[in-house]
Amino acid sequence: MEALSSSFGTQLKAKESEKKKVAIIGGGLSGLACAKYLVDAGHEPTVYEARDVLGGKVSAWQDEDGDWIETGLHIFFGAYPNMMNLFAELGIHDRLQWKIHQMIFAMQELPGEFTTFDFIPGIPAPFNFGLAILMNQKMLTLGEKIQTAPPLIPMLIEGQPFIDAQDELSVTDFMRKYGMPERINEEVFIAMAKALDFIDPDKLSMTVVLTAMNRFLNEDNGLQMAFLDGNQPDRLCAPMKDHIEAKGGKVVMNSPIKEIVTNDDGSVSHLLLRSGEKVEADEYVSAMPVDIMKRMTPKKWQNMPYFRQFDELEGIPVINLHMWFDRKLKAVDHLCFSRSPLLSVYADMSVTCKEYYDPEKSMLELVFAPCSPLAGGNVNWIGKTDEEIIDATMGELARLFPTEIAADETWPATMKQKEGKAKLIKYAVVKVPRSVYAAIPGRNKYRPSQRAPIPNFTMAGDWTSQKYLGSMEGAVFGGKLAAEVVSKKAKGMQLPMEKVIQQNIVDSAASYEAK
Ligand code: FAD
């Protein structure tokens, strides 16, 4: 990874005659990373972001009290090499607040109690993970632990080919096929699936779980977690923008692209902004989410198999909650896996994040998932009102904080205080109807390569094909790989291979009627 990063300043560095003007659509982490590496290689990128804030799924904004509202609770892992390089290259690695190397799970049967996987310093991966599981006496019996290991061994020995081959199976199918005890699902996989993709294990592709395990287990500190020390637009996106602009690129906001306009030969002629302005460049990169890219695919490209793959991918809904209480709850300085049917992970940001630090009050940030039948369960939470969502969450919090929070039918509309219990003083609900692509079984093969079959067009985004999931690391890596394609094209170097397209897509593309 470091080698790819540094190649932008060496082998991929453009000579004066090779410099390209590049228009990048989308100012999320992927578009910004793409622009960052393109300026490092001497090109002139401009990022066009539709909204008045950078970051896409890591965007955040302030409410009338000055409190930050985030699109998502975001955790960085030791096993995010591209992200770690980026922080180091921008000189902002001290903004990551690393937490003790531990995973914390709420006990399902014991309200208010937690159990941990503790990683012992000095023990190398994957033994530190094995030992962390063996030492935990509360979640699985020894017999269950012994039954779980064998099906996972091929992942460590065979690596990616074994992982990719499991994509047709859901986590539940895989467990049944390999005779894993049912309780592993309740104890571990539900929490893991919801944290990785906001989806239940009977819907999630096993490839996702194995990919995460493989990445996390290959590095001693792979599962160590960090919180950013403040809001993402200021603490991460702004330094990316400053770096891009200091080296001759541009980042413009409030600039939604309305159309990718093509020439007769199918190459991109220009971009049309919603304002009517035309943007012309030598190269064009899309760093938009898949659902938007599907709508923006030009007519001339619609029956090309590469673009038809996108039909097989769609964003999954998720909801991010912020709940402010009138007092300090007994919360830990870490991420917690709630193991509740409605929630995924949560953290008390008044403790875990420097900028949100508050000695008097707690602010819980919680990921609410699954949110629709596509993701699991049978309630379409994404369509419910904020009050209904908070109301249901209070019931779950009463289990996580039994001595401090009361579930009460008066919540939340009146926000009445139950005697002696914490009072919810404010909340914010952020609904993301289409977030990361739904990694349901059989999707991985449809993730497109960054190299596209259009001479002056390249794809970026967390959903493009790369060995990380739909994640911040995947977004940065996807953007970097797109920058590599553009830089290699500029130098006339051999390009990375285009990913093979499935025959069913090739067949259906031929008969597709372009709209
Ligand atoms: P996006 O962030 O979606 O960026 C796309 C950008 O394109 C947006 O800014 C959008 O406004 C812009 N755009 C769209 N259309 C146009 C247009 N027509 N013209 C111009 N601009 C346009 N990942 C982790 O690694 N760890 C976590 O803990 C984690 N937690 C998460 C929690 C939640 C609730 C959510 C929603 C996501 C979480 N993720 C996490 C995933 C992570 O946020 C995403 O994978 C990543 O940020 C995606 O980046 P991206 O640049 O590919 O896409």
294 has a pLDDT exceeding 90 = yes
Residues 400-433 have pLDDT tens digits of 998 998 866 555 544 556 667 888 999 999 999 9
Nearest CA, atom 34, ligand 1: 72
On average, the pLDDT of the chain sits at 93
Does residue 212 share a domain with residue 197?
Answer: yes
Does residue 425 share a domain with residue 330?
Answer: yes
Does residue 361 share a domain with residue 262?
Answer: no
The answer to whether residue 92 is domain-embedded is: no
Beta bridge partners of 60: 70
Does residue 171 share a domain with residue 198?
Answer: yes
Put the strands of the sheet holding 257-262 in their side by side order: 257-262, 268-273, 278-279
Residues 442-483 have pLDDT tens digits of 999 999 999 999 999 999 999 999 988 899 999 999 999 999
Cβ–Cβ < 8 Å for 364, 331: yes
Does residue 308 share a domain with residue 336?
Answer: no
The answer to whether residue 70 is domain-embedded is: no
User: Atom of ligand 1 at shortest distance to CA of 430?
Assistant: 34
Does residue 327 share a domain with residue 306?
Answer: no
Centre of ligand 1 from the C-alpha of residue 513, in Å: 31
251: which 2 tokens?
């980042």
Does residue 211 share a domain with residue 246?
Answer: no
Q: Any idea what the CATH number is for the domain that residue 172 is in?
A: 1.10.3110
The answer to whether residue 82 is domain-embedded is: no
Residue 220's identity, in one-letter code, is D
Spell out which residues line ligand 1, taking CB within 6 angstroms: 25-31, 48-51, 56-58, 71-75, 256-257, 287-289, 292, 318, 320, 367, 432, 435-436, 461-462, 470-475
The answer to whether residue 206 is domain-embedded is: yes
> d(Cα 65, Cα 71) in Å, to the nearest integer?
18
The answer to whether residue 262 is domain-embedded is: yes
Residues 367-401 have pLDDT tens digits of 999 999 988 888 999 999 999 999 899 989 988 99
> d(Cα 293, Cα 303) in Å, to the nearest integer?
15
Centre of ligand 1 from the C-alpha of residue 491, in Å: 30
> Domain total for the chain?
3
Does residue 185 share a domain with residue 135?
Answer: yes
Does residue 428 share a domain with residue 322?
Answer: yes
Residue 511's identity, in one-letter code, is S
Domain boundary (432, 455, 483) is at 432
Nearest CA, atom 39, ligand 1: 471
Cβ–Cβ < 8 Å for 316, 491: no
Closest C-alpha among 318, 312, 315 to residue 381 = 318
Centre of ligand 1 from the C-alpha of residue 230, in Å: 18
Put the strands of the sheet holding 96-98 in their side by side order: 76-77, 225-228, 96-98
> d(Cα 32, Cα 115) in Å, to the nearest integer?
38
Does residue 479 share a domain with residue 410?
Answer: no
Q: What does the pLDDT average to over 348-367?
A: 97
Centre of ligand 1 from the C-alpha of residue 409, in Å: 35
Does residue 428 share a domain with residue 357?
Answer: yes
Nearest CA, atom 27, ligand 1: 74
> d(Cα 36, Cα 466) in Å, to the nearest integer?
18
Cβ–Cβ < 8 Å for 299, 260: no
Nearest CA, atom 45, ligand 1: 471
More confident residue, 424 or 31: 31
Length of the chain equals 515
Q: What does the pLDDT average to over 138-150?
A: 85
> d(Cα 140, Cα 349) in Å, to the nearest integer?
30
Centre of ligand 1 from the C-alpha of residue 54, in Å: 10
39 has a pLDDT exceeding 90 = yes
Q: Any idea what the CATH number is for the domain that residue 368 is in?
A: 3.30.70
Query: What is the span of the domain harbouring residue 406?
Result: 318-432
Centre of ligand 1 from the C-alpha of residue 242, in Å: 20
Ligand 1 mutation target, pool 472, 473, 476, 480, most atoms within 8 A of CB: 472
Cβ–Cβ < 8 Å for 82, 476: yes
Residues 73-105 have pLDDT tens digits of 999 999 999 999 999 999 999 999 999 999 999
> d(Cα 370, Cα 443) in Å, to the nearest integer?
19
CA dihedral sign of residues 243, 247, 253, 255 = negative
Classify 327 as helix, strand or coil: coil
Centre of ligand 1 from the C-alpha of residue 82, in Å: 16
Neighbours of 305 (CB within 10 A): 18
Domain boundary (159, 187, 217) is at 217
Specify the range with the lowest mean pLDDT, choosing from 21-35, 39-53, 322-336: 322-336
Domain boundary (189, 217, 245) is at 217
**In angstroms, how far apart are the furthest CA atoms of the chain?**
73
Residues 201-249 have pLDDT tens digits of 999 999 999 988 888 888 889 999 999 999 999 999 999 999 999 999 9
The answer to whether residue 463 is domain-embedded is: yes
Nearest CA, atom 44, ligand 1: 471
230: which 2 tokens?
């403040």
Centre of ligand 1 from the C-alpha of residue 28, in Å: 5
Classify 236 as helix, strand or coil: helix
